[in-house]
Amino acid sequence: MSQQTPLHATHVAAGARMVDFAGWDMPVNYGSQIEEHHAVRRDAGMFDVSHMLALDLEGADAKAFLRGLIANDVAKLVEPGKAIYSCMLNEQGGVIDDLIVYFLSDTTYRIVVNAGTADKDLAWMRQRLAATGTVATLTARRDLAMIAVQGPNARNKTWAAIPGAEAASTALKVFQAAAFGDIFIARTGYTGEDGFELTLPAEQAASTWAALSAAGVKPCGLGARDTLRLEAGMALYGNDMDETVSPLDAGLAWTVDFKDENRDFVGKAALVANGSRQQALGLILEDKGILRSHQKVFTAQGEGETSSGSFSPTLERSIALARLPLGVAAGDAVEVDIRGKRLKARVVKAPFVRNGKALV
Amino acid sequence: MSTPNDLRYTASHEWIRVEADGTLTIGITDHAQEALGDVVFLELPEAGRVVAKEEAIAVIESVKAASDIYAPVAGEILEANQAAVDAPESVNADAYAAWLFKLKPANAADVDGLLDAAGYQAAIG
């Protein structure tokens, strides 16, 4: 039996096409995925992301614990509400999950993890808490719902929908959050557009969703969320990296912080020993067809593989993220095996699209 | 979701119209296009190709995924619909107007083995 978010009945009533996603019954679209995609690039759309899990970490040792747990360094977070994106690694340097950590105080952090990995993450974190003798409590907040409002008009429409929210969130920088009553407003997202991710009590989810809809925010499914993040060049856990892939090979070196030589974190030794063995780049298909994950890529430097691929509604052609041999560069012509045919593609640097504009 | 009574169907979601000259016009059902979502690419068989019953002979790709399309009966491909290739979204707009290919059956009686509208509706529950 699939799990349901607090907005499940809302999606069903709206006629959404529901599919199983990581054990959750989620809307994949409400009609046309491409129209939902364009709504986010051009105006404002919203996604139910309540299947993701918020975790609250509180205690005297919280900061030291996180500095050892994840590859990015929470020590750089000093302004309340500021957040970082990071990978959480295993000892081999593979990615257990990617997550966002919000700094609330030196002893209080909120962590948001993926739905499909939530149970595994929680078990790993609890094991690390015990192994390190950390004085901190970790609380899974399944009592909360999450709504991502994204697009060039997302902030204005959110402010129109939620009276009083503007004053609390107008000064937020990108990757910063603030509390507004029961609502945690974060200027984050997974689309390459401006906007907010709202974390709020489950019982307020349906009324907030309705208010956003009344303010002209278009309900969007996970289908559009995937094409938006792909155009934005953002990695998807399970596709672009997993426990067997190093962040240094998955285009996520920018999230690994080696600056403090005295800081050890799980997986650091393996990353240092292995270095970068592959690189993540974008592909644009020149021939007709659609790129998908796990297709072979033939380059002058050897073979690589696509990790995510789809049709880009903004570019109106197919794009992919791929892990390719070192030495391959943007502009290179490569070939991709699609159902036994070798089709021509061009290597580009991701992102493909940001803030409504094509970059490739 | 519509399932016209004057067409025949397969359990793999093709519709088949038997033309006056006995040739078959084939597409995918409204149910199938809705399940696929926005269609963005079609790879159709070339005229003259001889195909076996239930052979995968075409590919339809939506934003979400790629799916095979099967020959409902054995025969020879007469024509593929280039207009559908040029505008894949026409399959979403009207799945029964956007035919994909025409086929001359090897044996006209094979058509009798296909589902009727009621049979297809029962098959998709």
Residue A296's CATH number: 2.40.30.110
Neighbours of A6 (CB within 10 A): 20
ipTM: 0.89
Q: Answer yes or no: are the C-beta atoms of B70 and B2 closer than 8 Å.
A: no
Question: Residue A228: its pLDDT value, please?
Answer: 98
pTM comes to: 0.95
Rounded distance, CA A314 to CA A284, Å? 13
Contact B63 A311 (CB under 8 A): yes
Q: Which residues of A touch B38 (CB under 8 A)?
A: 32-34, 311
Mean pLDDT of A329-358: 97
The reply to whether A330 falls in a domain is yes
The reply to whether A201 falls in a domain is no
Contact A311 B43 (CB under 8 A): no
The reply to whether A71 falls in a domain is no
Neighbours of A67 (CB within 10 A): 17
**Is the pLDDT reported for residue A1 higher than 90?**
no
Chain A: closest CA distance from residue B113 (Å): 30
Q: Answer yes or no: are the C-beta atoms of A279 and A326 closer than 8 Å.
A: yes
Q: Is the dihedral of CA B83, B84, B88, B94 positive or negative?
A: positive
The reply to whether A189 falls in a domain is no
A228 to A30, A43, A216, A264, B56: CA distances (angstroms): 16, 13, 19, 35, 31
The reply to whether A282 falls in a domain is yes
* DSSP per-residue letters across A164-230: THHHHHTTPPTTBEEEETTEEEE---SSSS-EEEEEEEGGGHHHHHHHHHHTTPEE--HHHHHHHHH
Residue A359 identity: L
Across the interface, which of B34, B40, B92 has its CB nearest the CB of A290?
A: B40
The reply to whether A143 falls in a domain is no
Q: Answer yes or no: are the C-beta atoms of A323 and A304 closer than 8 Å.
A: yes
Q: Answer yes or no: are the C-beta atoms of B7 and B15 closer than 8 Å.
A: yes
Per the DSSP assignment, residues forming a β-bridge with A318 are A311
Domains along chain B? 8-107 (2.40.50.100)
Interface test with B, best of A18, A227, A290 (most B CBs within 10 A): A290
Residue A202 identity: A
Rounded distance, CA B1 to CA B10, Å? 16
Q: What is the pLDDT of residues A229-253, one digit of tens each?
A: 999 999 999 999 999 999 999 999 9
Chain B: closest CA distance from residue A177 (Å): 32
Per-residue confidence at B1, pLDDT binned at 50, 70, 90?
confident
Mean pLDDT of A264-275: 98
Residue whose pair of structure tokens reads 């619909």 in the numeric block: B81
Q: From A36, which residue of chain B is nearest by alpha-carbon distance?
A: B38
Q: From B43, which residue of chain A is nearest by alpha-carbon distance?
A: A289
Q: What is the pLDDT of residues A180-218, one digit of tens each?
A: 999 999 999 999 999 999 999 999 999 999 999 999 999
Across the interface, which of A34, A227, A289 has its CB nearest the CB of B41?
A: A289
- What rounded mean pLDDT belongs to chain A? 97
Expressed as residue numbers, the domain containing A294 is 277-358
Give yes or no for A310 touching B (CB within 8 A).
Answer: yes
Rounded distance, CA A103 to CA A84, Å? 9
Q: Answer yes or no: are the C-beta atoms of A258 and A76 closer than 8 Å.
A: no
The reply to whether A92 falls in a domain is no
Q: What is the pLDDT of residues B74-99, one digit of tens each?
A: 999 999 999 999 999 999 999 999 99
Q: Answer yes or no: are the C-beta atoms of A108 and A177 closer than 8 Å.
A: no
The reply to whether A23 falls in a domain is no
Domain count, chain A: 1
What percentage of chain A reaches a pLDDT higher than 90?
99
